[in-house]
């Protein structure tokens, strides 16, 4: 097999990149190790920055998002039983965010790719990227073979490319093709994670609520007017099944407590899982003709809702750079890919770290640190400058 761009991974990064390249008349092949159902139902993020919304619309993938997505003009910060709303348009010159789950973004992009895009090969696992330093890198991969005398045999194959983009997430293989001696990794883990639930109950607030509480962080989000998405800070290594449904609701109610009569509506929990918390950046994001995009290159704690939006910024940057090279013969933007992406990545890392340390209570938190968090929250609630920094970062950094 041969293609211009070999894409490893069919998450938001890989799927959107395939769409952007298709629209630019550049052929690609997407290799995805899991099956379609897994990719379309993996519960992850839910917030699209304005820039991401604009890119999806321009790529022809925004029709259902425009119909079903929920535009949000603010979030509520909750602490010490107080409530403070951050008004995005007023602080950012009109920017907002859209609540539209990453599962739905992937479904829309998969449908488009299967309908009019290049090959999207599910249950096809990339094993290794070879020849990244040459003009024709290769991806060695394995896929399910045909029914034989001994059942279905796996078959190994090779995809010859002009470029390879590793969109294979944190646990992928593409990063391994960059020599360790050329690599710098920046990482921080946190002593807590998020227990996330989906519940068949209308959200108890019309915007997202981020709560800082002495018992720990809680987040009220949503997937639709009838489906709530909620998260609880839990100790790292927590087993989701260790929490009974009624215990989850009771703990959420305690952490969302306010001085007024606001109340959290309960409902049947339909999905429960624990997400670990990590900050991670792999530099560089390019080696020869191998480019990294999305979680393959960087991870942010989900507190700032940046993961998917960073992946979008990376693939927009790559598609622009490759298009520029084919139109002008200049590799200037491809050569600047890593530096361009990392400027945006590090701003998102800074914001995600700030939001995480602002709202989560570490197991070994001291009374001084507790007061410091409350002082930081009071500063945001009382200073347009501090509030603007949060609103600008939350609604998104410019691409490229
Ligand atoms: N071969 C083929 N596919 C692979 C391989 C491999 N060796 N390893 C991983 N994959 C696939 C995974 O199955 C997954 O579908 O790569 C995809 C990576 O997708 P994501 O982990 O979602 O990463 P990305 O596309 O960068 O999305 C980034 O979007 O999902 C949200 O918030 C989430 O931060 C995340 C963001
Ligand atoms: C979500 O809806 O899944 C979500 C929203 C905001 C976040 C993280 C996750 O900061």
For residue 121, the Cα-to-chain-centroid distance in whole angstroms is 22
Q: What is the arithmetic mean of pLDDT over 109-117?
A: 96
Band of the pLDDT at 119, cuts 50, 70, 90? very high
CATH number of the domain at 206, please. Answer: 3.30.9.10
Q: Are residues 115 and 125 in the same domain?
A: yes
The predicted structure's pLDDT at residue 146: 67
For residue 246, is it within any domain?
A: yes
> What CA–CA distance (Å, rounded) separates 393 from 263?
29
CA of 170 to the centre of ligand 1 (A): 7
CA of 275 to the centre of ligand 1 (A): 15
For tokens 């259902």, name the residue: 64
For residue 82, is it within any domain?
A: no
The predicted structure's pLDDT at residue 152: 75
CA of 56 to the centre of ligand 1 (A): 18
For residue 94, is it within any domain?
A: no
Tell me what percent of the chain is helix, strand and coil, each rounded to the nearest 5: 40, 30, 30
Pocket (CB within 6 angstroms of ligand 1): 8-14, 31-34, 39, 44-45, 102, 125-126, 167-169, 171-173, 294-295, 307-308, 311
Q: What's the domain range around 374?
A: 190-277+362-395
117 Cβ inside 6 Å of ligand 2 = no
pLDDT at 120 over 60: yes
| Cut 0.85: pTM above it | yes
Q: Are residues 343 and 231 in the same domain?
A: no
The predicted structure's pLDDT at residue 51: 95
Band of the pLDDT at 67, cuts 50, 70, 90? very high
For residue 288, is it within any domain?
A: yes
Q: Are residues 283 and 326 in the same domain?
A: yes
Q: Measuring CA to CA, how many Å separate 123 from each of 8, 9, 114, 157, 177?
A: 12, 11, 15, 13, 21
Q: Are residues 142 and 260 in the same domain?
A: no
Q: Which ligand sits closest to the CA of 175?
A: 1
Average pLDDT of every residue of the chain: 96
The predicted structure's pLDDT at residue 157: 95
Strand partners, 275: 194
Q: Are residues 303 and 254 in the same domain?
A: no
Give residue-wise pLDDT tens across range 241-278: 999 999 999 999 999 999 999 999 999 999 999 999 99
What are the residues whose beta carbons fall under 8 Å from the beta carbon of 294, sequence distance 6 or more? 9, 11, 12, 13, 14, 167, 169, 307, 310, 311, 314, 315
Q: Are residues 141 and 223 in the same domain?
A: no
Percent over 70 (pLDDT), the chain: 99
Q: Are residues 27 and 127 in the same domain?
A: yes
The residues that are catalytic are 72, 210, 302, 306, 394
pLDDT at 400 over 80: no
Strands (E), the chain: 2-8, 28-31, 47-49, 70-72, 74-79, 82-87, 97-99, 120-121, 124-130, 138-148, 151-166, 184-199, 208-212, 218-224, 227-235, 269-283, 286-287, 290-292, 298-299
Nearest CA owner, ligand 2 atom 2: 46
For residue 78, is it within any domain?
A: no
Q: How many domains does the chain have?
A: 2
For residue 153, is it within any domain?
A: yes
């Amino acid at each position: 097999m041969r293609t211009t761009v070999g894409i490893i991974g069919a998450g938001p990064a890989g799927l959107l990149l395939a769409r952007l390249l298709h629209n630019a008349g550049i052929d690609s092949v997407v290799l995805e190790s899991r099956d379609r159902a897994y990719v379309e139902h993996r519960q992850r993020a839910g917030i699209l920055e304005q820039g991401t919304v604009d890119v999806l619309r321009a790529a022809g993938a925004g029709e259902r998002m425009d119909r079903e997505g929920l535009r949000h003009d603010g979030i509520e910060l909750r602490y010490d039983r107080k409530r403070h709303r951050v008004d995005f348009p007023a602080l950012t010159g009109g920017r907002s965010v859209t609540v539209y789950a990453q599962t739905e973004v992937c479904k829309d992009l998969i449908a488009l790719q299967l309908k009019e895009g290049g090959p999207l090969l599910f249950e096809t696992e990339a094993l290794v990227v070879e020849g990244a330093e040459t003009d024709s890198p290769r991806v060695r991969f394995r896929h399910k073979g045909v029914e034989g005398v001994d059942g279905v045999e796996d078959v190994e194959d090779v995809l010859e490319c002009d470029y390879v983009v590793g969109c294979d997430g944190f646990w992928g293989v593409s990063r391994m093709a960059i020599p360790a001696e050329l690599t710098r990794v920046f990482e921080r883990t946190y002593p807590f994670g998020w227990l996330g639930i989906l519940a068949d109950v209308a959200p108890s607030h019309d915007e997202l609520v981020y709560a800082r509480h002495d018992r720990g962080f809680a987040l009220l989000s949503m997937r639709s007017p009838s489906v709530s998405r909620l998260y609880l800070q839990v100790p790292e290594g927590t087993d989701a099944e260790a929490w009974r449904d009624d215990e989850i609701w009771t703990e959420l109610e305690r952490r969302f407590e306010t001085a007024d009569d606001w109340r959290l509506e309960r409902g049947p929990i339909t999905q429960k899982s624990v997400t670990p918390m990590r900050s991670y950046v792999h530099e560089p994001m390019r080696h020869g003709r191998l480019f990294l995009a999305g979680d393959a290159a960087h991870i942010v704690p989900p507190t700032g809702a940046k993961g998917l939006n960073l992946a979008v910024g990376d693939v927009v940057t790559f598609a622009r750079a490759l298009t520029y090279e084919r139109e002008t013969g200049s590799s200037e933007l491809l050569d600047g890919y890593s530096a361009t992406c990392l400027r945006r990545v590090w701003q998102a890392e800074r914001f995600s770290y700030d939001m995480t340390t602002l709202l989560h209570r570490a197991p070994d938190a001291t009374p001084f640190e507790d007061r410091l968090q409350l002082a930081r929250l009071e500063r945001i609630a009382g200073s347009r400058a501090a509030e603007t920094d949060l609103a600008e970062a939350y609604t998104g950094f410019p691409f490229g």
